[in-house]
Amino acid sequence: MPSNDQAAIPPYRPQEIEPRWQGRWEADALYRTSDDDPRPRWYMLTMFPYTSGDLHIGHWYAIAPSDVAARYQHMRGNNVLFPIGFDAFGLPAENAAISENIHPHTWTYRNVERMRAQLRRMGASFDWTREVITSDPEYYKWTQWWFLQLFKHNLAYRKQAPANWCPSCQTVLANEQVIRHEGEAGRCERCESVVETRDLEQWFFRITNYADELLDFSAIDWPERIVTMQSNWIGRSEGAEIHFPFDAPVAGVDRIRCFTTRADTVFGVTYLVLAPEHPLVEPLTAPDRRDVVQEYVRAARAATEIERQSIVRVKSGVFTGASARHPLTNRLLPIWIADYVLPSYGTGAVMGVPAHDVRDFAFARQFDLPIPTVIAPPDWDGAPLPEAYVGDGRMVNSGDFDGLSVKEGQAAVAARLQEMDRGGPDVSYRLRDWLISRQRYWGAPIPIIYCAACAIVPVPEEDLPVLLPEDAEFLPTGESPLAGHPTFTQVACPQCEAPARRETDTMDTFMCSSWYMFRYLDPHNDREPVRRDLAEKWLPVDQYTGGAEHAVMHLLYARFFTKAARDMGVLPVGEPFARLFNQGIILKGGQKMSKSRGNVVAPDVWVDKLGADAVRLYLMFLGPWDQGGDWDDRNIQGLSRWLNRVWTLVLRPPERAPSEESARTIRRLTHQMIRRATEDVERFRFNTMLAAMMECTNALARERDAGPVDGAAWDEAVQALILCLAPSAPHIAEELWQRLGRPYSVHQQAWPAWDPELAASETVTLVVQVNGKLRDRLTVAVGLPESEARAAAEASANVAAHLAGAAVRKVVYIPDKLINLVVG
């Protein structure tokens, strides 16, 4: 085209049009969701961000495609709810408070302000009227209410438990704050001191009550990966409990209970092992063994569980001097203690079967304990085993169980023990109860009062919220920060009115995020967490998106909360999220972005340079969303260029002339594009969706440059392109839609439908092969009969050359695809 045409259309200036449309949409409340809208509901949710400071490119990568999906559902005629909020309690605010000498509240709400503004620049279709901030009293009042409900239903309990204690920071650390990776395992992430264990009274939730139900994923459509991770985390093991009696009761107990998945090996037991923390260790230990046992226990307790699990697997342990009887042979079995037995799994006691367990084998070797074989490997010659044999085989040296397979033996032994009242079938889980106490300031206070007379008293619901005092001293002092507050702890017992003391721990922030998806439905309700009819209308969330790093934390806790709430009659559903999609991680130069690496991509810089639309598109285009990808400064140019081409395509009118042929071609391009874009957006394949639209743009430009186009078909094409682009690049789509004189807003138009007939091609490329090798490509009519296809193929000079006169033995014909002539 002549260059002076270019002067005729205004340049594409995202910096000018994006803020203008954002202002207009907000003024018009375009994205406000009504609860009374009769259209089908669609609850689209993206994991709310933590108030960490600036919105980084990872937030954009998580949120922008989610916004595209929400906008698409809206265009499909659904009443879409797409809310946003902030996960605002937590340790980073306290750390910032300490290092920057600023109050956590100030720090957090300043970040909320900044992040709101940055989110608005993205042009996302959030309904801001439903925003929740978990550190608002209006919100955490109900977090505390949830605690009280769980307490009332016996799903919350208090017990003494070991916690990670940093002697330098003078505070308890969450497991996540203890370095786990090899070399530095068991150290504080802030000061690198060796973390100790301290016993503290802690609050727990009985998530283990729901272990089996949490293993049932049949009602939800989640990525296989997350399902597997949750299943492994819950770790259901079927086996048996086996009781080993004492000759005389010890501390009122007459037996040691062990859990095993290998009841079939019970005749191979040569010793028992207790975890050093096991309550029977003290009463069992013989007087002459006391010193050595106490020293071992002390050393074991000095290490954290994390440390114990990460040290090299050298077996250590000491003999207690006590013994128990074998339940089936009555043999005396020495009782040891060893730190390879974990106090928190099973019963904290293990039967040692050296021949058929690699850990027991190592232990027996270390301490010279007998290693009798009781499962015969195939072709076993009766010789001692060189290593633990854990495979299948027949039971031997096992009395009347000899000859049974491993599987048969497990059932038979468990049944026999049950008859004898010495145990029986049992199930064990890796999942532990959820420890929610935090000895920290910046969290929701646990609504509990301790009274000398009435013991543990829940705060009455009408007294909620228990406000977090603003004037607490939160610097690390070795005590829970609220404990040092002059008035917070002092309270009258709600039952007897005697002076009592408040609980001073706060709740794990994962509690706040376990129910936020319900609060969006009714964010300002001051009488209940969510109105029942709204929960019935909107739940479960139709589509949830977020990172896979929350697989066994947030996503598991949220499922637990929902099931508990259903059983308490609070919610009508047992699963919070019907569908889940995990986006991947965005990298820079193949590495995670971090301030210390100096490779953090700031979205604002790119919005200034190329516009939010280009940034959104690039994030969608750089690869499949679930695989993540690497940010490359150069590649984003391609998306910006494409937007410029779309801009020009729409605004520079082509030469028009009615034409059947041109109309057919343009409509075919259009409807093929709509079909591909629709199928791809449905599957969250945003990269190929955009590729389809780019191809259409390029093809339309070629049509235009080739001569006059059919005006009606052209207008349809351009409008369809804008509509398909609208969810992905909402600003330029709105601008072009307006410039075409179409009615505001493009975002309230219907997603275009494709007509299969218009999308269909009249001709196809038929691939011609000889013996499976490509020899020619023919353009033929759709649905060509085989005889004609064969004739056409054989007429090809190159095909004839390769046939070389040989007889065709077989013809493979896939209509509209390929014909393969097999010779020889």
Partner RNA sequence: GCCGGGAUGGCGGAAUCGGUAGACGCGGCGGACUUAAAAUUCGCUGGCCGCGAGGCCGUGUGGGUUCGAGUCCCGCUCCCGGCACCA
Binding residue for RNA (CB under 7 A) from 350, 482, 571, 736? Answer: 350
Calpha distance 717→701 (Å, rounded): 11
Map residue 506 onto helix, strand or coil.
Answer: strand
Handedness of CA 247, 250, 252, 257 (dihedral sign): negative
Q: Does 588 bind RNA (CB under 7 A)?
A: no
Cβ proximity to RNA: between 84 and 551 the closer is: 551
d(CA 300, CA 295): 9
604-623 residues near RNA, rule: CB under 7 A: 621-623
Cα distance between residue 137 and residue 118, in whole Å: 25
Stretch near RNA under the rule CB under 7 A, chosen from 55-63, 344-352, 413-421, 436-444: 344-352
Near RNA by CB under 7 A: residue from 477, 635, 748, 763: 635
Strands (E), 396-458: 423-429, 434-435, 437-438, 448-451, 455-458
- Interacting positions 659-688 with RNA (CB under 7 A): 685, 687-688
User: What are the backbone dihedrals phi and psi of residue 766, each rounded to the nearest 5 degrees, phi first?
Assistant: -95, 120
Q: For residues 64 and 84, which CB has a smaller minimum distance to RNA in the complex?
A: 64
Instruction: Assess contact for 144 and 464: CB atoms under 8 A.
Output: yes
CA distance 268 to 262: 10
Question: Rule CB under 7 A: is residue 117 a binding residue for RNA?
Answer: no
C-alpha to C-alpha distance for 187 and 184, rounded to whole angstroms = 6
Which of 237, 294, 405, 738: binder of RNA (CB under 7 A)?
237
Residue 645 binds to RNA (criterion: CB under 7 A): yes
Query: Whose Cβ is closer to RNA: residue 540's or residue 629's?
Result: 629
d(CA 374, CA 398): 6
Nearest CA to 261 out of 277, 274, 242 is that of: 242
> DSSP for 729-773?
SHHHHHHHHHHTTPPS-GGGSPPPP--HHHHS-SEEEEEEEETTE
Min dist. Cβ of residue 178 to RNA (A): 12
**Which residue has tokens 């543990």?**
456
Site string for RNA, 531-570 (x = CB under 7 A): -----------------xx-xx------------------
Nearer to RNA, 69 or 690 (CB): 690
The one among 106, 294, 309, 397 contacting RNA by CB under 7 A: 309
- Residue span binding RNA (CB under 7 A) among the ranges 36-44, 151-159, 473-481, 764-772: 764-772
Q: How far is CA 536 from CA 35, 39, 571, in A?
A: 11, 15, 8
Q: Which of 315, 531, 579, 652 is the binder for RNA (CB under 7 A)?
A: 315
Rank residues 88 and 770 by Cβ distance to RNA and give the closer one: 770
Question: Scanning residues 42 to 81, which ones bind RNA (CB under 7 A)?
Answer: none
Pick out residues in 213-232 that bind RNA (CB under 7 A): 224-225, 228-229, 232
465 upstream amide cis, omega within 30 of 0: yes
Q: Which of 771, 790, 794, 815 binds RNA (CB under 7 A)?
A: 771
Which of these ranges, 118-126, 334-342, 403-411, 657-665, lies near RNA under the rule CB under 7 A?
A: 334-342
Which of 123, 466, 775, 784 is in the footprint of RNA by CB under 7 A?
A: 775
Instruction: Among 533, 641, 655, 791, indicate the residue that binds RNA (CB under 7 A).
Output: 641
Please give the C-alpha separations between residue 603 and each of 153, 485, 633, 704, 722, in angstroms, as whole numbers: 46, 42, 11, 36, 25
Q: What's the CA gap between 400 and 55, in Å, rounded?
A: 69
Residues 411-450 that bind RNA (CB under 7 A): 428, 430
| Residue of the chain from 339, 503, 522, 710 that contacts RNA (CB under 7 A) | 339
Binds RNA by CB under 7 A, chosen from 101, 487, 598, 773 = 773
Least distance (Å) between residue 249 CB and RNA: 23
Between 453 and 492, how does the x/- string for binding to RNA read (CB under 7 A)? ----------------------------------------
Q: How far is the CB of 575 from RNA (least distance, A)?
A: 21
Site string for RNA, 278-307 (x = CB under 7 A): ------------------------------
Q: 340, 450, 560, 754: which one contacts RNA (CB under 7 A)?
A: 340
Residue from the set 455, 602, 774, 791 that interacts with RNA by CB under 7 A? 774
For residue 745, whether the previous peptide bond is cis, meaning omega lies within 30 degrees of 0, is: yes
Taking CB under 7 A as the criterion, which residues in 258-277 touch RNA? 259-262, 275
Quickly count: other Cβ atoms within 10 Å of residue 216's Cβ. 12
> Which one of residues 371, 690, 718, 784 is an interface residue with RNA (CB under 7 A)?
690
Residue 486 in tokens: 């002059």
Binding segment for RNA (CB under 7 A), chosen from 472-480, 661-669, 741-749, 763-771, is 763-771
Q: Quick one: 11 or 287, whose CB is closer to RNA?
A: 11
* Summary count for the chain: helices (H), strands (E): 26, 32
Q: In Å, what is the CA distance from 334 to each residue of 229, 270, 286, 340, 376?
A: 38, 8, 12, 17, 25
Whichever of 489 and 771 has its CB closer to RNA, that residue is 771
- Please count the residues of this chain forming the interface with RNA, following the rule CB under 7 A: 88
Least distance in angstroms from the C-beta of 114 to RNA: 28
Give the shortest CB-314-to-RNA separation in angstroms. Answer: 7
Closer by beta carbon to RNA, 276 or else 730: 276
Q: Toward RNA, which CB reaches closer, 688 or 738?
A: 688
Q: Beta 132-133 vs 156-166: how paired, if at all?
A: unpaired
Choose among 261, 211, 267, 221: nearest CA to 241. 261
Is 3 among the residues that bind RNA (CB under 7 A)? Answer: yes
Exposure of 266 in the CB half-sphere (CA atoms within 13 A): 35
Binder among 57, 413, 555, 818 for RNA (CB under 7 A): 818
Q: Quick check: bond before 540 cis, omega within 30? A: yes
Q: For residues 49 and 317, which CB has a smaller minimum distance to RNA in the complex? A: 317
Between residues 189 and 567, which has the closer beta carbon with respect to RNA? 189
User: Cα separation of 221 and 573, whole Å?
Assistant: 15
Instruction: Tell me how long the chain is.
Output: 824
The four Cα atoms 507, 508, 514, 518 give a dihedral, to 10 degrees, of 40
Give the residue, chosen from 98, 215, 311, 740, that forms a contact with RNA under the rule CB under 7 A. 311
Q: Can you tell me the distance from the alpha carbon of 310 to that of 186, in angstroms, rounded to the nearest whole number?
A: 9
Contact (CB, 8 A) for 419 and 243: no
- Shortest approach of RNA to residue 238 CB, angstroms? 9
Query: Which of 630, 656, 708, 815 is close enough to bind RNA by CB under 7 A?
Result: 630
Rounded to a whole number of angstroms, the minimum distance from the CB of residue 448 to RNA is 29
Q: Is 704 in the site for RNA (CB under 7 A)?
A: no
